[in-house]
Amino acid sequence: MNRRQLIKNLGLGGVALVATPTILSLLQSCKADGPVFEPVFLSKSQGKALRHMVDLIIPSDEMIPGAVDVGVHKFIDTYWNQAVDAEGKTQILAGFDALANRLQDATGKTFEEAEAEDYDALLTKYLNASQEEQAIYNKGLGEFYQVYENDKTVKVDPDAGSFSLLGNIRGMTIWGWKASEEIGENVLAYEPIPGKQVGCLPLEEATGGKTYSL
């Protein structure tokens, strides 16, 4: 399956975001930036890491803009800053600390020093984890949260924390890319609200096989 066909059929991947007017307005306000990304929640080096990973999850090609092209990295950072409570922010930053730990172990580099290929290796390791590895990571997360209820100083296992953070970033990247104005209206199937109900119509006939953007 080629990339264009894959994107047409891409699902939400379990993203917890809901397309409320507020979130969509926030997303549409986050346009693509220049070569320098100035995050509002993350540190500059964490923002650089986020931008690399978002670009790797949905890169651009000669026909379709990628996630960075439509400002998804800015949306994620802004969403975390505006819509996540203080404890949630603490957990996100703990995930970045865990990822920094594993990046250092694997490459000897910091977020500021790492390049796309370094982040690609981390994404491959955790997003392509086997069922057995996922079970270990999830067990580690469960044990962490049990202790965290009574001890806010406990540190998450670096593998479990990296796995959780990267899964979150992947889900938000896919959701934000699909819901962006450019992709939603010009790449995926788009039906303005209010639309019309046509039952039992094959997807190929209704949209040319494209997934609806919202």
At residue 11, the pLDDT reads 39
At 59, phi and psi to the nearest 5? -75, 165
Residue 214 lies in a domain: no
CB atoms under 10 Å from CB of 163, counted, come to: 27
At residue 49, the pLDDT reads 97
At residue 190, the pLDDT reads 47
At residue 188, the pLDDT reads 52
Residue 141 lies in a domain: yes
Which residues form the domain of 121?
3-190+198-207
Q: Is 143 exposed, middle or buried (0-12, 13-18, 19+ CB in 10 A)?
A: middle
At residue 191, the pLDDT reads 52
Residue 101 lies in a domain: yes
DSSP annotation string for 16-75: -----HHHHHHHHH-----S----SSS-HHHHHHHHHHHHHHS---SSS--TTTTTHHHH
Residue 71 lies in a domain: yes
At residue 182, the pLDDT reads 64
Count how many domains the chain has: 1
* Ranges of the chain whose pLDDT falls below 70: 1-24, 27, 29-35, 182-214
33-67 pLDDT, tens per residue? 666 789 999 999 999 999 999 999 999 887 788 89
Residue 212 lies in a domain: no
Residue 213 lies in a domain: no
pTM here? Answer: 0.78
